[in-house]
Copies of this chain bind each other. A is one copy, B any other.
Amino acid sequence: MIQKYVFGKPIETGAVVQEIPETKSEILVMNQNVMEDKVVLFCKMEEEDIIYGLGEQVRGINKRGFSYISDATDDPIHTEGKHSLYGAHNFLIVNGRKIFGIFVDNPGKVVFDVGETSMETLTITTGKDCVIYIIEGESLKEVVKQFRQLIGRSYIAPKWAFGYQQSRWGYENEKDIREVVSGYQENGIPLEAVYLDIDYMEGYKDFTVDKEKFPKFSEFVEELKEQQIHLVPIIDAGVKVEEGYSIYEEGIANDYFCKDEEGENFTAAVWPGKVHFPDVLNAKAREWFGGKYRYLMEQGIDGFWNDMNEPAIFYSEKNLKKVIEEISAMKDKNLDIHSFFYLKDLVCSLSNSSKDYASFYHNMNGRKICHKDVHNLYGFYMTKAAAKAFEKIDPEKRVLLFSRSSYIGMHRYGGIWTGDNHAWWQQLLMSIQQMPSLNMCGILYTGSDIGGFGGDTTKDLLLRWLEFGIFTPLMRNHSAAGTRKQEVYQFGDTTDFRNIIRIRYALIPYLYSEFMKAALEDEMYFRPLAFDYPEDKQAKRVEDQLMVGESIMIAPVYTQNAVGRYVYLPEEMLMVCMTSPEEKRFEVLEKGHHYISVSLNEVVFFVKKNHVLLLAALNEKVKTTADLEQASYEWIGYVPEKAEYLFYQDDGISKKYLSKKNWKVCKFTKEDFSNGYLKKEN
């Protein structure tokens, strides 16, 4: 049951798709305190209560013990102490005596104090104009399903986007890309996409391609596509201020950019230098900006990543001018230590300053709205702009699209990646923990930068990260300019890397089926154990294992130099250890605690009792997701009695999704696995 409570005059965010009648009474499951400038909701948490949700945030699956602030921020240092990352996912679930979800639909800053100030108290503080949805249900799964129906069906990527993808900030030109492609091909490692980071553009101008670096871009796109490799360019939020640059000129001519207090186009600086921000909250400007993606699509591009759309601001013109003036005034003065700290703070607070966010405006249906009040919508609407344009260009084609910044609602238009993480083991664990939280909020097509974006990766970290990454829908290796090269062929012998990525491909029939089911049925692809085993007190506490789809549980290794790890099995399960798609080892483990050995080149997962999964039996010809159609299958099953599996298969590119009744039902009995745990399909 969903109840909708309206406070003040909320801005229509587009987060929800269902019409829910407003409940006029007070909220029952939480206390409410409506003040002049804010609404505060609070409730007591019992010691054993667990709080789920909040999507892209730091810390564990259980969000207790910290304060999280929805305030989209371009901050690449994702330590435990950070209150905000790139997204704003204002949904959480209280798993206590009562199970209920809370969605705070407010696109400004929202603070979730989940027992930081007082361990026993959950306090949510939001701006005075907001809609609060309370979702009650019998189970965690049911609460999520209701919420997901409320916010609408999740974005579905094309099937090729489930292949292995390589990215790096620093691939400058055709030559660099070709080098990457041959690096993979020569080592017999599947590769399905190469990303173009900001370097491909002409002066970092959106919807341009540098002609010196890519003299025949569309031919190059075509050439790669013949090898079934997709080029995926980045699109940044800011439009370069440059006379004669058509996007800039059109934006100026039509008043499509955000304005400052005085009604002038607001000028910030990002990669291209000075930019204006397209007012994606203005329907006309949004349609115009979205239309610009066509330029690249016409050259064969069928995937994009939207970046810098918090929007990130290196500095605003006004602010920098002021700072330089202040520093100039210090010249020839005898500075004390306070002046030094003042100077340092002046410079360090230039980027992503809340003052800048409070200094520009949107035109939403003719209404002038200060950016700070809708800050968390920018990435959502930039991505919606693109998705709506794709629908026009080719209504039935799936285009790859994901974004850095997001708000609930954007999940209908694209996925996200979890931003500019680091090559730290701790971030591998964090990305494991983020996955189910994101799934609750509808974000299914997601993954982290495998190997870590910032800092130098190591071979062992990259291997372990891949061993988790083979289960994330978006499986992309990405790194920053200036860091150690981290394509998998940069670390000597490539055997282990090839085998792990080939295991991904063998798993795709299962992973894709499960992704499609989650998307089409409003379910979660990654789930905390508590969602499947609500009665198991131990399972509730597990923070480093996940259910993936209906049949399996994963327990990735995420600590350096480890040769194994502890695993909790909420029921008897079949452990599957793979060092390649062909080399599998099986062992039935009983319910309870186990220490399992997991060597550096090994993928381990667990199959639930009376469950199966299907693997593509790879052969030499299978190099991409499309080739999987030609592969035969084998089933891994732990079937002491019987099992049933719903196999989802479609063309992978059109939007002709099968309805549940058309899914292929595969039935198994004990006898099918009388020779062990493997059944070959012919």
Contact = CB atoms under 8 A, between A and B. Distances in A.
A454 B461 CA distance: 28
Contacts of A456: 81, 116
A340 to B, nearest CB: 6
Given A119-B460, A331-B325, A347-B343, A559 B60 contact: yes
A538 B460 CA distance: 20
Contact of A562 (B273, B541, B566): B541
A327 B273 CA distance: 18
Given A59-B560, A65-B460, A269 B337 contact: yes
Interface string A334-358: 0111001001100110100000000
Interface string A113-146: 0001011000000000000000000000000000
A424 B79 contact: yes
Contacts of A560: 59-60, 62, 64-66
A208 interface: no
A80 B330 contact: no
A388 interface: no
A660 interface: no
A273 B564 CA distance: 52
A116 B458 contact: yes
A589 interface: no
Contact of A337 (B77, B273, B459, B594): B273
A320 interface: yes
A272 interface: yes
A79 B455 CA distance: 11
A68 to B, nearest CB: 13
A107 to B, nearest CB: 26
Given A119-B459, A344-B350, A561 B60 contact: yes
Interface in A257-315: 269-273, 314-315
Query: How many copies of this chain are found per oligomer?
Result: 2
Contacts of A564: 541
Interface in A42-74: 50, 59-60, 62, 64-66
Contact of A422 (B81, B425, B563): B81
Contact of A327 (B64, B328, B426): B328
Count chain B CB atoms within 10 A of each CB in A66, A80, A272, A595 and give the residue with the most: A80
Contacts of A62: 560-561
Nearest to A537: B563
Interface string A485-529: 000000010000000000000000000000000000000000000
Interface string A551-593: 0000000011111101010000000000000000000000001
Contacts of A348: 344, 347-348
A404 to B, nearest CB: 19
Given A269-B340, A272-B337, A543 B559 contact: yes
Interface in A64-100: 64-66, 77, 79-81
A64 B328 contact: no
A511 to B, nearest CB: 29
A425 B347 CA distance: 30
A324 interface: yes
Nearest to A566: B566
A461 B350 CA distance: 33
A385 interface: no
Contacts of A470: none
Given A65-B560, A119-B458, A328-B328, 19 more contacts: A59-B560, A64-B560, A65-B461, A79-B79, A79-B422, A81-B423, A81-B455, A269-B337, A314-B337, A315-B340, A320-B335, A320-B340, A324-B327, A327-B327, A327-B328, A347-B347, A566-B595, A568-B595, A593-B593
30 contacts: A59-B560, A60-B561, A65-B460, A65-B560, A79-B426, A80-B424, A80-B426, A81-B422, A81-B454, A116-B456, A119-B459, A119-B460, A269-B340, A314-B340, A315-B340, A324-B331, A324-B335, A324-B343, A327-B327, A328-B331, A343-B347, A344-B350, A538-B595, A541-B561, A541-B563, A543-B561, A543-B562, A566-B593, A593-B593, A593-B594
